[in-house]
Structure 1
Amino acid sequence: MRFGTRLSERWFNAVLWLVAFAFAGFLIGLGSLVVGDLPQVEHRYTLEQFLDRDRAKVSADALKQVRQQQDDNRRASEQAQLALDAARSATEAARETFANWLKTRDATQRVDQDPGLIARTDRLDALKAAERAIEERLEGLARSGLDLSEREIPVRSASADLYAAAQQRLDAAERGQELRVFGYRLALTLPLLVIAGWLLLKRRQTRNWPFIWGFALAAAFAFFVELVPYLPSYGGYVQYGVGVIATLILGRAAISALQAYTERQKAAELRPDEERRTEIATDQALQRLAKKVCPGCERPVDLANPDANVCPHCGIGLFEHCPACEHRKSTFERFCYACGQTSAVQPTPA
C-alpha cells in the first residue's frame, strides 16, 4: 500500500500501466510477425542447385540402364523358372507313365513292346535334356544377375558421392543463410533494445511514461525471447557463449550498482539528519516504515519500541514529538495526526 497517495492517483496509475502493457502486447505481436517473416527476404535453396548436373545425368542414366537390365534379367529368370517347373512336371508325368507301362509289359511279357520301350526311354531322355537346358539357362541368368549387381555397386556409389557432395554444399549455404537471417533479426532487435534503454534512462519520468515502458517491454521481449530460438547452433557453443557474456555483463552491472549504492548510503549517513530526511519521498519513507526498515539505510529497526525514535544503524530520525501537542509522530509525515500541525522540517513530497 502506498501511504499519502490519493486514491484517484492510484487508479489513474493502474489504468496507465494497463495502457503500457496493452501497447507492449501490440508491439510484441507486430514484432513477432516481422521477425518471423524475415527469412522470406532470402530464397530457399534446393539440393539440385548444388548438384553437378552433367555427371549426375551420366550416373543416373548408367544406373537406370543397369536396373533396366536387372529387371529384364529378373523377368527372364521368372519365365525360365516357370518353364522349368512345367518341364519337371512333364518329366514326372512321363516317368509315371513309363513306370505303369513297364508294369504292364512285365505282366504280359509281350516281346513286341521292346520298340515301345526304346521309344519311351528316348522320350524320357528328351524331357530330361529339355529340363537340363532350362536349368542351364537359369544358371546363366543367375550369373548375369550377379554381374549386373556388381556393375550396379560402383554406379550407385558414384551417384551417392555426387549427392553427398551436393548435400555438403547445400548445408554450408543454409548455414550462411541462417547467419544472414539471424543478422537481420539482430540488426532489427538490438537497436530497439538500445533505444528502449535510453528512453528508460532519460524519459521514463515524462508524461508519456506508459508508452516508454510499453516500448521497453516489447523491445526486451523481442531481444531476449523472440531472438533466442533463432540463435545459430554449433553444438551449444553459441548459446552457452551468449549466456556467459550476458551473465558477465549483467553480473558486472549488478556488482557496480551494489557498490555504487553502498557508497551512496555511506556518504548519505555522514550528512546531517534533517538534510537526509528532506531528500526521502514521503511515500517511500512510509512504505519502508511499514516494512519495519529504516527509510534511510533500509536496515531493520524495532518500531514497536516506543523509545526507538532514531535508527540505531545510520542515526536518521524516525519519530519525533509534535511541537504543538507533543504527540509522537513520524518525522516523514507532513502533518501531525493528532492536531494537524505542520512539521518544522518538510519532507520531500512523493
Structure 2
Amino acid sequence: MTTSQAYSRPARLLQIASWVIAIAFAVFLNMLGSLVIRDLMYAPRGGPPTVEQFADSKTDEPLKATQRELERERAALADKAEAIGIARMRAAQNYNGAKESFRNWVTTRTATGDYSQDPAIVARTKRLDELQSAVVDWQRQQDALNDQQRALQVRTMAVDQQLAASQETAEKRFEQASRRYELTVFAWRLAVTLPILLVAVWLFLRFRRARYWPFVYGFGLFALSAFFVELVPYLPNFGGYVRVLVGIALTAFAGIYVLRAFQRYVERKREEMQQSQVERARSVAYDKALGAFQKKLCPSCDKSWSLGGDSASFCIHCGLKLFEVCECGGRNFSFFPFCSCCGKPVRRAGDANAEPPAPLGDAAGSTGP
C-alpha cells in the first residue's frame, strides 16, 4: 500500500484529478510545442533550400537546349532509318524473287536444249543486276544513316556528361546548404526548447510541492517531451558522433546528479543521527511517517524496524522511539495524531507540551505527490 492509499477517499480522488489535470495540461502544451517546432523550419530566411537554387542556369540552359535538339535529330534519324530499312527489305525481297525465277527459267531452258532465247537470258540477267544494285544502294544509305546515328550518340553522351557534371556540382552545393540550414533550424529549436527545459527543472525543484503542483508536473512532462521527442530527432548526425557524445554527456550528468543526491542523503542522515530523538521525531513529516509505517521502516533512518519484532517500540538501528502506549493502554505509532483505541491525541515522550501533528486530511490536495 502506498502513501496515497493511506489518505481518505476524497484525498485520493483529488490526487487522481490532479494527475489528470497535469497530464491534460502537458498534452495541450505538447500540441502547441509541436506546432511551434514544426513551423520553426521556416524561421531561417528563404525557407528550405532546393537543388534548383544552386543550378548554373547559364551553363545548363544551353546544354539542355542542345540536348533537346539532339533528341529531335535522333528521333528524325530513327524515323528515316526505319523507312530505309523497310525499303531495303522490299528491294531484297524483289531481288530474291527475281533471282529464284531466273534460276528456274534457266533450268527449264537447259533441260530442253533451246538456246534460241539467249537474248532473254541477257535481259533477265540485266534485270537481276538492277535489282541487286537497288539493294546495295539502300544498304549504303542505311550504313550512312547508322554512321550519323553513332556520331549523334557520341555528341549526346558528351552533352549528357557536361550536364551531369553541372548537376553534380549543384547537388554538392545543395547538400552543404542543407546541412547549414539544418543546423540553423536546430539552433532555433534548441533556443526555444532548452529554456523551457531549464524552467521546468527550476519549477520542479522549487514548486513541486506547491498548491498548484499539477501544472508544475504538467509543464515538466511537456518540457521532457519537447526536448527528447521534438528536438532530439533533429539533432545533427555528423556520422553518429554528435548523438553518441550527447548520450555520454546526458549519462554523465545524470550519474553525477544521482551520486551527489545520494551523498547529500547520506550526509543529511548522518547529521540527523547526531540530533536527539525529540528533534528527529519533530522533523518527520506526517505523510512520510505514514509511508514508512506501511513499509515497516523507520521514518528517520529508513531502515526496517521489524527486525526487532512486531512488538518492538524502538528502532534497532537509530534508537528512535516508534510506538507509544496511550493512557487507555492502546499501542500506537508515535507519529499517529490520535489513539486508535480511545481517540485521544497521541503524546510523544519528551514532547508533552507540543501539539499533536495535524492529519493530512483535506490538505492532501495542496501538496505534491
Please list the CA deviations of residues 11-40 of structure 1 after superposition, one character each: whole Å capped at 9, or x if unmatched: 223222222221111111111122122223
User: How many matched pairs?
Assistant: 349
Q: Which runs of 4+ in 1 moved over 6 A?
A: none
Which residue identity lines up with residue 72 of structure 2 in the other structure?
Answer: Q
1:251 to 238, 242, 255: 255
- Say which is worse superposed, 157-166 or 239-248, in terms of deviation: 239-248
Equivalent residue for 1:298, pick from 296, 302, 317: 302
- CA distance in 2 between partners of 1:248 and 1:35 (Å): 27
The Cα shift of 1:306 comes to 4.0
Q: Could you tell me whether the CA contact under 8 Å between 1:189 and 1:219 is conserved in 2?
A: yes
Other-structure match for 2:117: 113
> 1:321-349, CA deviations, whole angstroms, 9 ceiling, x for partnerless residues?
22x13432212122222233323336654
- 2:308–2:316 Cα contact (<8 Å) kept: no
- Equivalent in the alignment of 1:126: 130
CA deviation digits over 1:146-171, x for unaligned, max 9?
A: 22222222221111010000011111
- Evaluate the alpha carbon distance shift between residue 5 and residue 348 of structure 1 in structure 2; reply closer, same or farther with a 3 A threshold: same
**Selected match of 1:198 from 199, 202, 205:** 202
Q: 1:306 to 1:118 in 2, by over 3 A?
A: closer
Please name the residue that 2:13 is paired with: 11
Alpha-carbon contact 2:337-2:357 (below 8 Å) kept: no
Secondary structure in structure 2 of the residue aligned to 1:329: strand
Relative to the length of structure 1, the TM-score reads 0.92
Query: What do you get for the CA RMSD once the two structures are aligned?
Result: 2.1
Deviations 1:249-303 (A, max 9, x none): 1111111111111111111112111211111112211211211222112122326
Q: 2:186 aligns with which of 182, 185, 193?
A: 182
The percent identity for this pair of structures is 37
Instruction: Return 5+ residue gaps in structure 1 as ranges.
Output: none
Task: Report the equivalent of 2:365.
Answer: none
Specify the alignment match of 1:93 in structure 2: 97
Distance in 1 (CA, whole Å) between partners of 2:180 and 2:108 is 91
User: Match for residue 270 of structure 2?
Assistant: 266
1:333 aligned to which of 323, 336, 358: 336
User: Larger deviation: 191-200 or 157-166?
Assistant: 191-200
Q: Which amino acid aligns with 1:334?
A: P
The 2-side partners of 1:237 and 1:292 are apart by: 49
Bigger drift between 68-77 and 330-339 goes to 68-77
Partner of 1:76: 80
Deviations 1:188-238 (A, max 9, x none): 111111222222222333322222222222122111222122222222222
Match of 2:38 in 1: 36
- Partners of 1:121 and 1:221 in 2: how far apart? 96
**Structure 1 pair 260–348 and aligned structure 2 pair: CA distance change class (3 A):** farther
Q: Partners of 2:6 and 2:104 in 1: how far apart?
A: 127
In the alignment, is the contact (CA less than 8 A) between 1:269 and 1:314 conserved in 2? yes
CA–CA separation in structure 2 for the residues paired with 1:273 and 1:312: 13
TM-score, normalised on structure 2?
Answer: 0.88
| Secondary structure in structure 1 of the residue aligned to 2:324 | strand
